Amino acid sequence: MNYTNELNLPQPFVEAVKSNHVYKPNRYSVTEVLGGTCEAILKRRHDSDITDDVSQRVWSLFGTAVHKVLQEAKATDSQLQENWLSVPIKGTKYELSGIFDLYDDSTKTVTDWKTCATWKVIFGDFEDWRKQTLMYCWMLRQLEIDASRGEIVAIMRDHNQRKAKTENDYPKHPVYRIGWDFTDDDFADIEGEIQYWFARVANQETVESDRLLPCSPDQRWHKPDKWAVKKKGRKTAVRVYESEKDARVRAMEENKKADSNDLYYVEFREGEDTKCDSYCPVSDFCPFARAKKSDV
């Protein structure tokens, strides 16, 4: 990856945010497996072509600083801090790697430290965290370590104390803790997902970039098309529907009540792939993202 410094920030800041990561053949990380195979393959093919400004990596720096402080804090005798793992994927040439932040043998729990925006906690958007800790537990079990619970301790970098006191649905503390007890079914499911992901990589990594299969809707952070029932003169929608038919039925019903034919109307709201549009580092090389842009 190449870095720019548009704000002419001091060199220590630049060096702190730069990544020296080197991709290893046939080794993919838990973070990569949580994303799409298209993204993972393109990152490796275009590592030297990707450019980012160091100012855009400030939250990465914040997260790294938090991890470093917590890593250096003293743990109990039953706890193991920040260890790198790598396990072979059966029947393939691949390895799955990852770094868990804390494992407690007394509770069989893998804990990961996170920094996040408050909205993630408010909306309960935890599936990626659950899967990440589940993968770490699965990896530890491949090494005959009995891990069966995942936990996240999240620090909300934009937590607002005033809102915490005045809004009922706002997190009351700047730190949030959530965990999951994993079952045999959970481990069977995640093993199937991991095996499927690597099978797809094996199938796709020699395919030309323009013919790569797109990431899944979840991996693209897809928001579906919606239809809003609007009332003339009112800025906000009466209600938003995921079905055009339902929206048009509601608009007709409201117009009948109002003895009007056009007081209520339906407004189409096109869905979006948030990661592709704003956060994916290889969107310029991705056939799906480029096709989307050409349709605009």
For residue range 41-70, list pLDDT tens digits in order.
Answer: 999 999 999 999 999 999 988 898 998 898
Is residue 243 domain-shared with residue 155, that is, in the same domain? no
Is residue 142 domain-shared with residue 196, that is, in the same domain? yes
In a domain, 217, yes or no: no
Asked if residue 35 lies in contact with residue 41, where contact means CB atoms within 8 angstroms, the answer is: no
Is residue 190 domain-shared with residue 238, that is, in the same domain? no
The beta strand positions in 25-108, using DSSP E, are 27-29, 51-53, 79-88, 95-104
Domain that holds residue 259: 225-270
Cα separation, 203 vs 211, whole angstroms: 12
Is residue 249 domain-shared with residue 173, that is, in the same domain? no
Is residue 229 domain-shared with residue 204, that is, in the same domain? no
In a domain, 290, yes or no: no
Which residues, 6 or more positions from 193, have their beta carbon under 8 angstroms from its beta carbon? 131
Is residue 236 domain-shared with residue 188, that is, in the same domain? no
Is the per-residue pLDDT at 105 higher than 70? yes
Is the per-residue pLDDT at 296 higher than 80? no
Is residue 21 domain-shared with residue 81, that is, in the same domain? yes
Is residue 149 domain-shared with residue 186, that is, in the same domain? yes
Is residue 235 domain-shared with residue 174, that is, in the same domain? no
**pLDDT confidence tier of residue 168, bands split at 50, 70 and 90:** very high
Is residue 120 domain-shared with residue 242, that is, in the same domain? no
pLDDT in tens, 63-79: 989 988 988 889 899 99
Is the per-residue pLDDT at 291 higher than 80? yes
Is residue 14 domain-shared with residue 54, that is, in the same domain? yes
In a domain, 220, yes or no: no
Is residue 120 domain-shared with residue 158, that is, in the same domain? yes
Domains: count for the chain: 2
In a domain, 296, yes or no: no
* CATH code of residue 193: 3.90.320.10
User: Which of 184, 190, 87, 177 is CA-nearest to residue 132?
Assistant: 190
In a domain, 82, yes or no: yes
In a domain, 291, yes or no: no
In a domain, 203, yes or no: yes
In a domain, 159, yes or no: yes
At 216 the pLDDT is 93
Is the per-residue pLDDT at 265 higher than 80? yes
**pLDDT confidence tier of residue 295, bands split at 50, 70 and 90:** low
pTM, entire model: 0.87
